[in-house]
Amino acid sequence: MRIKNCLTVMLLLVLAVSCSKDVLVPEPDVNFDENFLKSASPQLKIAVMSDLHYFDRTLLPTTEAGVEALQAYMAQDPKLLDLSTYILDQVIADLLAEHPNVVLIPGDLTKDGEKISHQSLAKLFKKLTNAGIKVFVIPGNHDINNPESYSFSSLAPTETITADEFASIYYEFGYKNSIRDENSLSYIHKINGKLWVLGIDACKYAQNTTGPIVSGEIKAETMEWIKSNLAEAKEKNIQVLAMVHHGVAEHYVGQNQLDPGFVVDNQVQVAKDLSDAGIQVVFTGHYHANDVTAVIVGDKTLYDVETGSLVSWPSPYRLIQLSGNKMFIDTRNVTAVAATLPGGMDFVTYSMLFHQTCLDGYFNYVLQLKYGVPPMSAATLAPWFRDAIMAHYAGDEVFGPVPQGQYAQLYQLSQLLAGALGSLYTDLPVADNQLSLQWK
Ligand SMILES: [Fe+2]
């Protein structure tokens, strides 16, 4: 999520709201384990982590100028980029202990598509597969053909990757022995006769010019490919774990107007098509919020299970038990990393202060310079918006930190600002962090 852009649009618009074709590679799956289904039965354990924005340590600054440049960057795009490697190391250690059967990673694997970050990530994922854990990735909008791929070590652009290189680097993590879509990096991997993974590539990296395009679309040809290939799964009652970087539903009322580009283009039709194809749950990322939203499609429900970013507050990941048509979702937050933080601070405190400081500064700037709010009022309002976004990031948000009396005053001052705040604080059904889902 690009805070600077998104919030500008949010504040402006809230008033208006109230490879080759279909190839099934014949090579035998060396990872296929005959005991997999047995060991997973009656429950399959799934982990989901998203928006890793991994930034290889060789790209971190080595000079004072580099440190200043990185700090300036992080202030306008609050991600814990300098700690991304430590955070992921911790999550991988956790997953090795938890030992899920499958790990799903719905995109934004890297900060901005740096080749060296992708290559390092693939080595790290190997630790999981070596332990018998299957890892599946798809690209996010930052991961491919990204003109903003940059090194704070050399203070110069660094090499990014092509779509073909993505499929090559992550061959072991989704593309091996999979049915490939010829129009995108989407794939279907048949883990066994009862369980498939559908990775959907909805990113527009082929159109990138000066930066990564935020919005996403599932091409018509790709959707046709999904429908035709999932017909067998639907007929044979095969469970399909689907993931796509972009949301398939709004995660708060007015998100598309307030902050365009985070829900897939043509979302109503996409949700209907996926539901008709037999999908009940889609794992998403992109907005950096830990939020689950239910979409009613005819007499069915499609759940968009968005997982927050590992480098954004509060660094969540999911542990899920799948048993037949029931899914039990738990959320864990990273609470410690093996890095020495300024002043000996613990990770949670450091992360909270980092996000609070960056977001305070941004809202003060926007409220005063773009919306004419007097400095004293902006100083009061900025923490309210900061807290609202951080509450949405964490999920299960409750409208509490803003005193009701003061909110009424804000409403009188500006329906625009009050509406934006209320929308961010209104958690749409269902619960976000600990919940169970069941479908017919
Ligand atoms: Fe992201």
Full pLDDT tens readout for the chain, 440 residues: 444 443 333 333 332 222 222 222 223 333 334 444 444 445 799 999 999 999 999 999 999 999 999 999 999 899 999 999 999 999 999 999 999 999 999 999 999 999 999 999 999 999 999 999 999 999 999 999 999 999 999 999 999 999 999 999 999 999 999 999 999 999 999 999 999 999 999 999 999 999 999 999 999 999 999 999 999 999 999 999 999 999 999 999 989 987 899 999 999 999 999 999 999 999 999 999 999 999 999 999 999 999 999 999 999 999 999 998 899 999 999 999 999 999 999 999 999 999 999 999 988 988 898 778 889 889 989 999 999 999 999 999 987 667 777 788 788 878 888 888 889 998 999 999 999 998 87
The answer to whether residue 344 is domain-embedded is no
Distance of CA 309 from the midpoint of ligand 1 (Å): 7
- CA angle centred on 213, ends 182 and 333, rounded to 5°: 95
Distance of CA 384 from the midpoint of ligand 1 (Å): 23
Distance of CA 342 from the midpoint of ligand 1 (Å): 25
Distance of CA 51 from the midpoint of ligand 1 (Å): 5
SS3 (DSSP) at 300: strand
Distance of CA 212 from the midpoint of ligand 1 (Å): 11
Distance of CA 288 from the midpoint of ligand 1 (Å): 6
Distance of CA 158 from the midpoint of ligand 1 (Å): 19
Distance of CA 406 from the midpoint of ligand 1 (Å): 33
Distance of CA 315 from the midpoint of ligand 1 (Å): 12
- Measured CA to CA in angstroms, residue 388 lies from 110, 289, 359, 360 at distances of 26, 12, 11, 12
The answer to whether residue 284 is domain-embedded is yes
The answer to whether residue 42 is domain-embedded is yes
Measured distance CA(14)–CA(37) in Å, rounded = 49
Distance of CA 143 from the midpoint of ligand 1 (Å): 10
The answer to whether residue 404 is domain-embedded is no
Distance of CA 325 from the midpoint of ligand 1 (Å): 30
Distance of CA 312 from the midpoint of ligand 1 (Å): 9
- The closest alpha carbon to 174, from 200, 192, 194, belongs to 200
Contact 46, 241 (CB under 8 A): yes
Query: What's the gap between Cα 157 and its chain centre?
Result: 25
What residues are paired with 326 via a beta bridge? 323, 438
- The closest alpha carbon to 386, from 434, 431, 353, belongs to 353
Distance of CA 285 from the midpoint of ligand 1 (Å): 7
Strands 44-48 and 102-105: parallel
The answer to whether residue 376 is domain-embedded is no
The answer to whether residue 403 is domain-embedded is no
SS3 (DSSP) at 228: helix
Distance of CA 52 from the midpoint of ligand 1 (Å): 7
Domain count within the chain? 1
Q: How many CB atoms are located within 10 Å of the residue 32 CB?
A: 12
Show Cβ contacts of residue 67 under 8 Å, excluding neighbours closer than 6 positions. 61
The answer to whether residue 300 is domain-embedded is yes
Distance of CA 107 from the midpoint of ligand 1 (Å): 8
- CA angle centred on 385, ends 142 and 48, rounded to 5°: 40
Show Cβ contacts of residue 267 under 8 Å, excluding neighbours closer than 6 positions. 247, 248, 249, 250, 256
Distance of CA 199 from the midpoint of ligand 1 (Å): 17
The answer to whether residue 113 is domain-embedded is yes
CATH number of the domain where residue 434 is located: 3.60.21.10
**What is the C-alpha R_g of the chain?**
21
Domain that holds residue 91: 3-337+430-438
Distance of CA 81 from the midpoint of ligand 1 (Å): 11
- The closest alpha carbon to 292, from 323, 331, 258, 260, belongs to 331
Contact 108, 52 (CB under 8 A): yes
- Could you list the beta-strand ranges (E) of 191-299: 195-200, 239-244, 281-284, 291-297
